[in-house]
Structure 1
Amino acid sequence: MKNGVILAIVSSLVFSIMNALVKAVSLSIPTAEVVFFRSIIGTVIIFFMMRHANVAFSTEGIPMLALRGVLGALYLITYFYTIAAIPLTDASILAHLAPFFVMMLAAVFLKEKPSKKTLALFPVAFLGAMLLVKPFQFSSYSVHALVGVLSAGFAAGAATSIRYLSQRHHAYEIVFYFLATATVVSIPLMWNNVVIPSPLEFFYLVCIGVVSLIGQLFLTKAFTHENAVVVEVTRYIGIVFNAMWGFLFWAEVPDLLTVFGGVLIVASCIALSRSKGR
């Protein structure tokens, strides 16, 4: 098994733990505030890691680093919002639509042309997403699920930018820009809606910041070792991890539409990884 694949699996496990913590604390803490704590804690830690490793800030490529930061911040906000609003498994499946968005963005910005088989798989994944969103069942229809789809788009933009930046910048610097930007973006969103966390909630928030940074480092390293699409598809194991936490802690049992939609999305993305280069 390639190093990049192993790193992607480990990052998925770590991020699933973060997702469970986010789900728990979001019962009382607003999404923007969770994003703020997640980001500010990680920013401080990664800054000292850069100092310890003698990693200097670049003087070139700042606009792309900033763009990666903005895309990552928007992904965090939309994804954390989705986790708080719908079952953990559903949120995880929707976020993992990212490989299809990666393919589209990679074709435009990285000049990686998708194959005919890849293009044929798009409708299958779209059908899977619609089964999760449930647009024709108004009693079940959820705008929250649409925000989950949007989070996948932002995640894809961030992944594509990481692949580009990893050839030119140290992983620590890429992560620093992401977290620092997310901190700045979250402040105005939480300004009039701050909730003072209890000791337990504060402990959860600190854990989210530390655990998510560990996951981000593993993920960024994975992108430096392997193709962006392969990494994203490998991370589908995260759906299993998230489903496990959702069942254990919140007794979340996916309905048939969710299971069928999830199967379509996962199967199409596995086929997507196999079609690359054909």
Structure 2
Amino acid sequence: MKISRGIQYMLFSSLCFALIGWIFRLLAHIPTAEIVFFYSIVALIISFSIIRYQKIYPWGNCRHLLLLYGISTGIGITLFFDTLMRLPLAIANVLQNTSPIFTAILGMYILRQSVSLRRWLFFILAFLGVFLTYVTNLSSHTKSVYVIIIGLLSALLMGLANNLNAKMKKSEHPLVIFSYSKICTILLTSFYCLYTFVPLTAYDGLNLLVLGILIFIAEYLAINAYQQAPVAHVAAISYLGIPYALGIDLLLGEKFQWITFVGMGLVILGVLLNLFYK
């Protein structure tokens, strides 16, 4: 079966996000909002440079949707990275990857895109893998209701953003959508940085530079993916961020129970079934 361009974009985007999570953990001594603030500046400079080079109108057409997209992604991604500071990378990704469910549900109302019963069953299979992965690690890592709430809120906001992105595919250039996201993120995090700023070393600056470049690649690919394929299809592929992150965690020496790997297998199976069955 030929894999669509949108699905290919999401495959690479998920891998980039897993690498981003790893680099983010190297900056654990810096407040989350400060990290997000600085990498967003780097990513915005890249985006604006390309926009200027290609002579694209930078302010877009549907500004109310662009602003809503920017606010939802700004808050959503900041909350997600906050969970990365509190949980192993793979477990944080598991919590975040409830977003495909929110994406599919919201897509039924925002985009009027139907989801077949078979595809819902595949979602449930993948979500069962998510559940097993998360619950089986409760005993080995400190959790709180707060972490669960911010993780689910992040997933909900990203599900909303995915649908808004798809809704703007005929009116907005992906670079313009990305730029609005970074502008809103910078504004939202700047207030927090005023009170919690931590001085950066040269090593921190290098990591933030790499982080900004990877964020640009990952989010730009994701934006294109949601514009070129049905949101439910693309959302299912984002589950692959979990096994990507698990691999990185294992390289970093994290320990997991055997049933965690069963959960990973169910996630991958759910993704493959979503790919090969219409």
> TM-score, normalising length from structure 1?
0.87
Amino acid at match of 1:9: L
Q: Deviations over 1:6-45 (max 9, x none)?
A: 22112122222211111111x2011111110121111122
Q: Which residue does 2:150 correspond to in 1?
A: 147
Tell me, in whole angstroms, the C-alpha distance in 1 between the residues paired with 2:185 and 2:92: 20
Percent identity among equivalent residues? 23
Structure 1 pair 64–127 and aligned structure 2 pair: CA distance change class (3 A): same
Contact 1:70 1:181 in 2 (8 A): yes
**Is the Cα–Cα contact under 8 Å of residues 129 and 264 in structure 2 kept in the other structure?**
yes
- State the partner residue of 1:202: 205
Gaps of 5+ in 2: none
Question: Which stretch shows the higher mean deviation, 235-244 or 262-271?
Answer: 262-271
Distance in 1 between the 2:156 and 2:227 partners?
21
TM-score after normalising by structure 2: 0.87
* One-letter amino acid of the structure 1 residue matched with residue 65 of structure 2: M
State how far apart, in whole Å, the 2-side matches of 1:136 and 1:82 are.
14
- Listed one character per residue, the Cα deviations across residues 244-271 of structure 1 (whole Å, up to 9, x for unaligned) are 22221x3113234544554555555655
User: Does the aligned pair in 1 maintain the 2:240–2:267 contact within 8 Å?
Assistant: no
Rounded Cα–Cα distance in structure 2 between residues aligned with 1:262 and 1:147: 23
- Give the drift of 1:239: 2.1
- Of 10, 16, 19, which residue of structure 2 is paired with 1:14? 16
Output aligned runs, 1:170-185, within 5 Å: 170-185=173-188
Q: Give the aligned partner of residue 31 of structure 2.
A: 30
Please tell me whether the aligned partners of residues 43 and 176 of structure 1 are also in contact (alpha carbons under 8 angstroms).
yes
Are 2:160 and 1:160 aligned? no
What is the aligned counterpart of 1:240 among 224, 243, 251? 243
Which amino acid in the other structure matches residue 19 of structure 2? I
Which residue of 2 is the match for residue 40 of structure 1? Answer: 41
Alignment check: 8 A CA contact 1:32 1:190 kept: yes
Distance 1:235 1:56 in 2: 30
In structure 2, what is the Cα distance between the partners aligned to 1:59 and 1:233? 29
Partner of 1:90: 91
Could you list the per-position Cα deviations for residues 151-181 of structure 1 after superposition, in whole angstroms to 9, with x for gaps in the alignment?
Answer: 2212111111111112210111000001110
Partner amino acid, structure 2, of 1:252: E
Secondary structure, in 3 states, of the residue corresponding to 1:191?
Answer: helix
Which stretch of the first structure deviates more once superposed, 166-175 or 213-222?
213-222
Higher alpha-carbon deviation: 56-65 or 29-38 = 56-65
Residue type of the partner of 1:101?
Answer: F
User: Which whole-Å deviations, capped at 9, do the CAs of 1:106-159 have from their partners, x for residues lacking one?
Assistant: 011111233444556676666555541579869854332442232221211111
- The whole-number CA distance in structure 1 between the counterparts of 2:92 and 2:56 is 35
Secondary structure of 1:197's counterpart equals coil
Provide the C-alpha distance between the structure 2 equivalents of 1:6 and 1:272, rounded to a whole number of angstroms.
14
Gaps of 5+ in 1: none
Pairwise CA RMSD of aligned residues? 2.6
**Which residue of 1 is the match for residue 231 of structure 2?**
228
Partner of 1:113: 114
Give me the whole-angstrom Cα distance separating, in 1, the residues matched to 2:106 and 2:277: 17
Other-structure match for 2:255: 253
Query: Does residue 216 of the first structure (1) align with residue 219 of the second (2)?
Result: yes
